[in-house]
Amino acid sequence: MRVLRALSLDVVAGAACGGLLAEHMARARMLPGWWVALLTAVWCIYTGDHLLDARRKPAEPATYRHAFHRRHAKALTAALAAAILIGFGAAWTLRPPVRLFGIGLSLAVMMYLASAQGLILPRLPKEPMAGFLYAAGIWGGPIVMGAGSTPTLLLAASLQALAAILNLVMLGVFETAVDIEEGHRSLALRWGGERVRGWVLVTSFLGTVAAGIIAGLLPLARDVFSILALQIAAPAALLIADRWFEKNERYRLWGDSVFLLGAIPRILA
């Protein structure tokens, strides 16, 4: 299980289920090339970021995932190069509007990775950028090609971005000591763990209530917004029961697993 998490396969699975949620909401069926491009992109971003983090510090990394990436850097770098080629090849098969969106998103991802490594915009918060890119990658294609209501789709995508941001900020609260040791930046380090914890609790509550209200107002999309409400609520729940979830990094397993719920509406449809 630790190896699967170190390889970010749990995050990739969550993105796949998010794609199913977006497809269901948009009443679209994305081409196989889109799925290949999406999943390879998610894996490449996380793997590339971990490899860069593992190389940045001369000392042994404090976390298993960074130590894993340092030990297997050559093999992972080769796999990363192959995945990038496969992803670009798959993206080339997409319809022009989706391909154009993907190009723009790829440029934004490169800027994010450069910022995460302190090369440009070193003070830009990582969590909001990463959460926005995560949701944009999942929902962008279905929004462009779907037949559903665009405002409603954008609202669902925004709530998914909020869930992703809250999840990442929650991880930063749990990993404040590790981030200090490894030289990472996070909102918890910038503003203080207790202050950010309170922000997550309040924002998670308000976001959950908002998603629940929307679910009640839109019966045809009730399943989607109910799932989004659960995803938004999860970071607050993990922080409330922090003593249990901090053991063996349970907060990472549960925080990432909640995104698997995105497959439920598609399965039950």
Model confidence pLDDT, tens digit, residues 31-44: 999 999 999 999 99
Over residues 136-151, the pLDDT tens digits come to 999 999 999 987 778 9
What is the crossing angle of helices 32-56 and 96-116, to 10°?
10
- What's the rounded Cα separation, in Å, for the pair 55 and 182? 11
Helices (H) and strands (E) in the chain, counts: 15, 0
DSSP annotation string for 22-88: HHHHHT----HHHHHHHHHHHHHHHHHHHHHHHHH-SSPPSSHHHHHHHHTHHHHHHHHHHHHHHHH
Percentage with pLDDT > 90 across the chain: 68
CA 95 – CA 181 distance, rounded (Å): 45
- Domain boundaries of the chain, sorted by first residue: 2-263
The whole-number pLDDT of residue 180 equals 81
Record the tokens describing residue 263, joined without a space.
């497959």
